[in-house]
Amino acid sequence: MALKAIYIPYLLRFKKPGGTLRGILTEKQTYFIKVYDDSDISRFGLGEAALFKGLSADDRPDYENKLTDVCKNIERYIDCPEGLQEWPSIRFGLESALLDWEGGGRRILYSSRFTQGQEGIRINGLIWMGSKDFMKEQIREKLSHGFRCIKLKIGAIDFDTELSLLKAIRNEFSPQEVELRVDANGAFTPDDALFKLDALSRLSIHSIEQPIRAGQWERMSELCENTPLPIALDEELIGVFNQKDKILMLKSISPQYIILKPALVGGISGSEEWICLAEERRIGWWITSALESNVGLNAIAQWCYTKSPVMPQGLGTGQLFTNNVSSPLRIWQESLWYDPLCEWDMSSFIEAK
């Protein structure tokens, strides 16, 4: 038996434009990797090479050339996965496809109580950047759906307006009722960051992700040492490939948390290494998706469940796109569930060769 592989480009379209510090997103290019054997066309493994343009370390002009090489020489990359160390999204896609193939091509990468529909994964409700009214509308919607952990992306509008939004939530809901997280995506400057962190800490914020832009290790270390609220590194992990550099970064900065996005930080295997290194240093962590389709989200969620997460995770809901792949993933109250009675819609992938 010789495995074959192909990649399939796919353009995801947002139901509503998503506001980020990198602009307004209306669509997102992604790529599916399909592994199969000609002797049984009904069985194939599917993974998502979830490239995030403008953010992924492997956002390069030769990206599709690398995908072509991986698919053409799949056995070589199976035997030598370190060849994809600097291509984290492709590594994530290939790992997921192979795990799916090994599981029988049923989109079950890790059989568990999650995939059996017996337990869900607690997640946070994500509030996208935008006008004050738009953000308030999202907050009301998330709270009405049972979310008790809300994450707000900040930095797109002026800080005082964002602070007033957070104060309005905190005036209505205590920290015991609603956990608040914020993600600055590097929007603060090193000079104003501590002042803003102090203002946020007065509202019993759980944590802040990436207060200043990545790459300023000395300034980030100072912030982590003096911060009045926990800091979680996010973009800081992107592009740090080998173990020696990972150890150096964690030792230099000493953050309270790290955020793991498999498609951005080395796939599942790279994320496992980050977790081991963080736990050795008593650094907390949680897992987050990064605008994957349901194919990528499914892989992240199934792997995430195996880590027995305690706090709410930053997993997507699969509801952002008009043309997402139909899947058994469901949101109920504040958790992501897998409904084993629902089928995947694989019609677009069965005949692809």
The set of catalytic residues is 153, 261
| 89 and 58 Cβ atoms separated by less than 8 Å | yes
Between the alpha carbon of residue 46 and those of residues 10, 127, 284, the distances in Å are 13, 30, 31
DSSP 338: E
Which alpha helices (H) appear in the chain, and where do they start and end?
Answer: 63-72, 74-79, 88-102, 132-144, 159-172, 193-201, 217-226, 243-253, 267-280, 294-306
* C-beta neighbour count of 71 within 10 angstroms: 18
How far apart CA 197 and CA 230 sit, in angstroms, is: 9
Residue type, 119: E
Q: Which residues, including other chains, have CB under 8 Å from residue 256's CB and lie 6 or more apart?
A: 207, 224, 227, 230, 231, 232, 283, 284
